Amino acid sequence: MNKLIRHTLTLLTGAEDPAVFLKVPKKMGPLKVLTERQLIQMESEIGKTLFGEIPKGHRREFFNLDPKTWIWHEEYFDANKQPHSITTKYEVQDKGILKVQDGARYSYIEGTELENFGLAVQIYYERAAREVYQRDPNTGYKLS
């Protein structure tokens, strides 16, 4: 290190070896760069817990794909060890929440199903905001 710089840093920091102030602690490590897929997976870890206990041998995902699409996916093996999977897509449309399932089945959800879906989304949002993004779900401010 240049002598002049070292002297200046010593004056500024008061340390005999100012170089220690320039080192990044190893604990911090490099900042981890997350992909959108990873963020969605983190959200889904929350989402899959919102519908009660997952039956043994089942795999469940529930996540927000984009502002207007929510996905619920479930995989399991039946008694004959045959794999099954169900994917349900919920689309936010102007007329309501459209539920689209395999086999081109679709319908606008209402009643208790709509209530439950709205509640699940609310909990998902509040927990994801706090636990994944560290933000207050009501204001969007960073949690301190």
Partner 1 sequence: MTPNAFQKDPNTTFEHGDQLEFRPDGRTESIGSTEEGLARQAVYGSFVRNEVLGHNEVIRRAVEVRGVNIEAMRKHVLGLEPETNTTIAELPVDSAETAKASEETFDNFQYHVPSKVEDAA
Query: Whole-number minimum distance, CB 79 to partner 1, in Å?
Result: 36
Please, are residues 40 and 64 in contact by the beta-carbon 8 Å criterion?
yes
Helix ranges restricted to H, the chain? 3-13, 19-22, 36-47, 111-127
Closest CB to partner 1 among 25 and 140? 140
Closest CB to partner 1 among 9 and 121? 121
CA–CA–CA angle 54, 114, 108 (5° rounding): 110
Query: Whole-number minimum distance, CB 139 to partner 1, in Å?
Result: 7
Closest CB to partner 1 among 18 and 70? 70
Query: Whole-number minimum distance, CB 104 to partner 1, in Å?
Result: 23
CA distance 88 to 84: 13
Query: Whole-number minimum distance, CB 97 to partner 1, in Å?
Result: 6
Cα distances (angstroms) measured from residue 38 to each of 9, 32, 124 = 41, 11, 16
Site residues, partner 1 (CB under 8 A): 34-36, 39-40, 43, 64, 66-70, 90, 92, 94, 96-97, 110, 114-115, 117-118, 121-122, 124-125, 128-129, 132-133, 135, 137-141
Closest CB to partner 1 among 73 and 130? 130
Q: Is 104 left (phi over 0), alpha (psi -120 to 50) or beta?
A: left
**DSSP letter, residue 28:** T
Closest CB to partner 1 among 9 and 46? 46
Query: Whole-number minimum distance, CB 123 to partner 1, in Å?
Result: 10
